[in-house]
Chain A
Amino acid sequence: MRQAYTYRPNGKNRIRETGEASKRIVLSLNTALCAVYCLSLMLPLIWMLYSAFKTNLEYQQDIMAFPKSLLYFENFSVVFEKLRIIRVTTVGGVPARVTYGLGNMLVTSFYFALAVSVINVFFNTVFGYILSKYKFRGRGFLYGLGIFIMVVPIIGTEAAYFRLIQQLGVYDNMVLTVLSAPSVAFSGTYFLLMYAAFKGLAWEYAEAAFIDGAGHYKVFLRIMLPMAMPSMICLVTLNFIGMWNDYSAFLFYLPSYANLSYGLYIFEQNAAQYGVNPPVIYAGFVIAAVPVVGIYSVAQKFILQKFTVGGLKG
C-alpha cells in the first residue's frame, strides 16, 4: 500500500494513504452532485405540495409563491367532488355508462395493484425456486428461454396481442387481465432477483426436512418461501407501487374500468372540461401519492437491501 509520511514540527507527524486527498475530493464532488440532483427531484414535488393549498388567484398571480395559508383544503374537496370518470361498458350486449368516483377508483387501484403484484411475484418465486434448486429435464431450456426473451426483442407484436386479448375475452375483463399477468414468469428482472435469492439459500434445510418426511410442497411453502420472504416483500411492494401508478393498462386494455392514476391522468388532460384549475390538479396528485409514499416508507428497508440483479448466465 502506498503511504505518505507528513513531518510536523510540533511532533504530530502522521502516516496516511496517498489516495486519501483524491478520495475526499471525489467523495465531496459526488455528494454535492447527489444533493443537487435530489434537490431537483424535490423541487417540483414541494411546488406541487404547496400549490395544492393555494387558491387559483394566488396561483395565477405568482405560480412559484408560497400559499397564504396551509390550511386551505378547498382544492381537496373539489377533487372529491369533481373527479368523476365516465367509462362505457356493455351490459348484456347493450352499451352502458359507468361513473367512477374517487372512492371507486381508490378501491380499484388497491385491488388491481394487490392482485397483480401478488400473482406476479408468486409465480416469479416459483420459477426462481424451481430453476435454481431442482435438476430436471427441461430446466436448462426454460432458463435459456427466459434469457432469450429478455435479450431478443420481438418487436411489433402489440397488434397481434391486442387482437388476441379481444378474441379471448381478456380485453376489458379485470379478472382475466389479472390472471393473465404472469405470462413470462421465468424471465425478467423479478425472476432474476428471485433466482439469485434462492441460489444464495442453503439447500441443507430442505434436505433435513426431506429426511424428516416432508414433501416438496411442504418444503417450498414452509421452509424455503419464508426464507425468501424479504426478497418477495421487496418485489411485491415495488410491483404494487408500479401497478398503483399504472394508468396505461386502463387506457389501453380496460376501457370499462378506472383506477386513481387513470382518473387523474384524464382529469389533468381534460382540466378545462372538468372546470378545474391547476391547484386542484395538484391536490389530486397529492391524494394519489400519499398511499404509495406510506407503503414505501414502511417497506424501504427490504427494497433498498434486496434489489440486486446479477448477470445473465445461469
Chain B
Amino acid sequence: MKQKPGMTGAVKIKRKTEVKKLLFVWPMMLYPLSLFAVFWVYKNISSFTMAFQSIDAFGKTSWAGLDNFKTFLYDIFQNESDTILRTAVIRSLLMYGVNLLISMPLYIFFSYAIYKKCPGHALWRFLMMLPNIISAFIFGLLFKRFANGPIASLFSWDTPLRSAGTAFPLILFYMIWVSFGTNMLVYSNAMKEVDDAVKESAKLDGVSGMLSELRYVLIPSIFPTISTFLIVGVAGFLMQSGPLVMFYMYNAPGYVYTTGYYFTVRIFNTPNQTGYPALAAGGLIITAVTVPVVMTVRRALEKLGPSVE
C-alpha cells in the first residue's frame, strides 16, 4: 500500500485504532438510534405538524392554521360549560406540589433511618419496596376496594372515590402512600456513598446531632440525586395520569382529572382521530410553558443548591 506523504507508522496505528473503535461504537448504537429516529424524532415532528392540521372522521388531514391552539386555550380559560381541562391542569399542579412539599421530605427522613440502620432497617427496606414489587395495579385495586369498603364504613362515607369531597384527597394520599419504595432506596444508597472523610471532617467541625448531620453533610452530598428527581419531576408532572386509569378506567369523574389522564382518555377512548390535533396543539402550548420553568429550576438548583464545604 502506498504511504501518504508525511504519514508516520505511529499515525497509521493511531488511525487504525480509531477506525476499530468507531467500528465498535456506531454499529452497537445503530439499532437503538434508528428506533430513536422513528419513535422520538419523527413522532415529535409529526405531533408538531399535527398541531396545525385538522383531521376529519375518515382520517383525512387539512391545514387548520392556529385553530387548534385557539380551541385548547378556550377550553382552559374560557369554556364555562366544560371546565374539565382547567380542573386537570389545577389537579396536576396540586399533585406536584404535594409531592414536593410532603413526599420529598418524608423520602429523605425515611432514607435517613434506613441509612442509619435503625432497628429493623432491613425489614423496613424490604417492606417499603412492596408497592413496586407486588404491582401498582394490585395495590391500586386493593386500595380502591379498601377505600370503598372498610375505610368508607369507618368514616361513614358513601363511595368515597366517587364523591367530590373525598376522591381527590384519597388519590393524593394513595400516590404518596405507594411512592416510598424506589425513592427511599435511591436516597439511602446515595447517603451510603457519601465519602467517610466528609463525615469525619464534619464531626470535627462540631456537626454531631442527626438533624445537623442531615442538614450540613448528607443533604448537600446527595443534592445531585435530589435535584435529578426534582428536575425530572417538574418535567413530567403534566404528563402523569396518577392512578386514575386504574381506579376508573376511562370513566373518572371530572373533578379528579389530571392533564395526563385528560390526554389518555381523549386519545384512547375516542372512536376517531378528529380530536388529536387539538391535543397536539395543547401539548405544544404546555411544553412552551413548562420548558422555561424546567430550565429555571435546573439553573436555580445548580446555583443555589447546598454545598458540603
| A interface residue numbers (CB < 8 A to B) | 1-2, 17-19, 22-23, 26-27, 30-31, 33-35, 37-38, 40-42, 44-45, 47-48, 63-64, 123, 126-127, 130, 134, 136, 142, 149-164, 168, 180, 182-186, 192, 215-217, 220, 238, 241, 244-245, 247-248, 251-252, 261, 264-265, 268-269, 278, 281, 285, 288-289, 292-293, 296, 300, 303-305, 307-313
Contact yes or no, B263 A27, CB < 8 A: no
Whole-angstrom distance between the Cβ of B145 and the nearest chain A Cβ: 7
Contact yes or no, A285 B238, CB < 8 A: no
Residue of B nearest to A292 (CB): B133
A19-B35 contact given A41-B131, A285-B138, CB 8 Å threshold: no
Residue of B nearest to A134 (CB): B25
A155-B263, A160-B47, A265-B141 known, 12 other contacts, Cβ within 8 Å? A18-B209, A30-B110, A33-B113, A34-B114, A37-B128, A45-B130, A154-B47, A155-B283, A157-B43, A159-B276, A184-B36, A265-B137
Contact yes or no, A2 B206, CB < 8 A: yes
A156-B35 contact given A245-B135, A269-B249, A307-B182, CB 8 Å threshold: no
Complex CA gap A305/B286 in Å reads 38
Chain A contacts for B120, CB-based, 8 A: 31, 34-35
A interface, by DSSP: helix, strand, loop or mixed? helix
Complex CA gap A34/B117 in Å reads 12
Chain B contacts for A186, CB-based, 8 A: 29, 32, 36
Q: Does B232 contact A (CB under 8 A)?
A: yes
- Chain B interface: which size bin? 35 or more
**Interface set, chain B 118-138, CB cutoff 8 A to A:** 118-121, 123-138
Partner of A40, one of B177, B193, B235: B177
Whole-angstrom distance between the Cβ of B189 and the nearest chain A Cβ: 4
Contact yes or no, B135 A27, CB < 8 A: no
Chain A contacts for B116, CB-based, 8 A: 27, 30
Contact yes or no, B110 A309, CB < 8 A: no
Contact yes or no, A160 B280, CB < 8 A: yes
Contact yes or no, A155 B29, CB < 8 A: no
Partner of A164, one of B46, B210, B264: B46
Task: Pull 17 A–B residue pairs with CB atoms less than 8 Å apart, ordered by A.
Answer: A2-B208, A31-B120, A34-B110, A35-B120, A37-B180, A47-B150, A134-B25, A136-B22, A153-B236, A153-B287, A156-B286, A162-B268, A163-B46, A186-B36, A308-B193, A310-B225, A310-B228
